[in-house]
Each structure stands twice: as C-alpha cells, then as structure tokens.
Amino acid sequence: MKKIELKKKLIRKINQTKNNEILEEMLRLILNEETDSVYELSAEQINTVEEAQMQFRNGQFLTGEQADLQIKMT
C-alpha cells in the first residue's frame, strides 16, 4: 500500500472509531516514533519475558490450534 493511501485509510479509521483506548494507543505509538524513545521494561516485566523465553526453548508452549482446542474444552 502506498504511503498516501495508508494515511487516508488511517485518517478514515481514526474518524470512525469511538474507542478512546485505541485512539490513545495510536497517539502513543505516533509520539514514540517521533521521539525515537525506547520503552523500558520494569524488573518484573523483564523477569516475565525471560521466563517465557525459557519456557519456549524448553518446548513448554501451545500452538494456536492447541490453544483454541483448550479454550473450546473449558
């Protein structure tokens, strides 16, 4: 998609949305891009990511299909 088409599509969607949370998140993303700021994780978030990475390396995860099946069974 060309840049001008993408911008028009985004503007249209922004004008149509009634969800304030989406608008706030979009603004946050745009401001982040403009300032080139880096999102810093807390120690707890870092630990959670590291734990998830270890679980993945150890094969302790579900495929999308497995997760869908588990959700349907509950």
9-46 pLDDT tens trace: 999 999 999 999 999 988 888 887 666 667 788 999 99
Q: What is the pLDDT of residue 28?
A: 84
> Residue 28 has which token pair?
């946050």
DSSP 3-state of 43: helix
pLDDT at position 31 is: 82
Contacts of residue 9, Cβ cutoff 8 Å, sequence gap at least 6: 1
User: Which stretch of DSSP H or E encloses residue 59?
Assistant: none
Instruction: Please state the pTM of the whole predicted model.
Output: 0.45
pLDDT at 63 over 70: yes
Hey, what are 8's tokens?
Answer: 């028009």
